[in-house]
């Protein structure tokens, strides 16, 4: 059970601190053939990552409340650009959710960057979290099964 909590904790930390690699951690766990099932480890890491991205999303959503940043966001050009991108995200939630899913699964574009943008645009948090969780869980399942398959042969 310790491995499950550790995978969640590393997932959470790696969601906030990009130099921590949940993928490297899971690859090492997958190679160690722990007593915990691979799907459980993937689930635990995905939950940790999703919770960490939720924190990052909320921080990004409220970053414009900082006085020095509020001055920059009050310019007309920034307001125009924000309104345009906010409208795109709001009018096409499935497209935006699909982009988050692809980012969560493939890391292209980087999920960290997309999380900050989603928070700034206030893309719906439930849809963001669902797409993030699904993409990350599938990514981690693929990674752990790939490592297991490589070491089995």
Each residue of 104-133: pLDDT tens digit? 999 999 999 999 999 988 899 999 999 999
Kindly report the pTM of this predicted structure. Answer: 0.89
> Cα 66 from chain centroid?
24
Mean pLDDT, residues 69-82: 81
Q: At what angle do helices 93-106 and 76-91 cross, to 10 degrees?
A: 90
**What would the pLDDT profile of 136-147 be if each residue is shown by its tens digit?**
999 999 999 998
CA dist., res. 82 & res. 17, Å (int):
26
Closest CA to 138 of 4, 30, 39: 39
Cα(148)–Cα(29) distance, rounded to whole angstroms?
Answer: 10
Q: Are 42 and 5 in contact (CB under 8 A)?
A: no
């Amino acid at each position: 059970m310790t491995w499950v909590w550790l995978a969640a904790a590393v997932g959470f930390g790696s969601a906030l601190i990009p130099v921590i690699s949940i993928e490297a951690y899971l690859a090492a766990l997958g190679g160690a053939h722990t007593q915990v099932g691979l799907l459980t480890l993937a689930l635990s890491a995905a939950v940790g990552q999703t919770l960490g991205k939720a924190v990052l999303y909320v921080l990004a959503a409220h970053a414009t409340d900082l006085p020095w940043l509020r001055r920059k966001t009050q310019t007309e050009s920034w307001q125009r650009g924000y309104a345009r991108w906010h409208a795109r995200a709001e009018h096409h939630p499935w497209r935006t959710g699909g982009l988050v899913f692809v980012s969560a699964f493939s890391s292209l574009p980087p999920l960290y960057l997309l999380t900050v943008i989603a928070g700034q645009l206030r893309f719906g948090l439930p849809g963001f979290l669902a797409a993030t969780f699904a993409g990350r869980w599938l990514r981690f399942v693929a990674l752990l099964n790939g490592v297991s398959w490589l070491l089995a042969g």
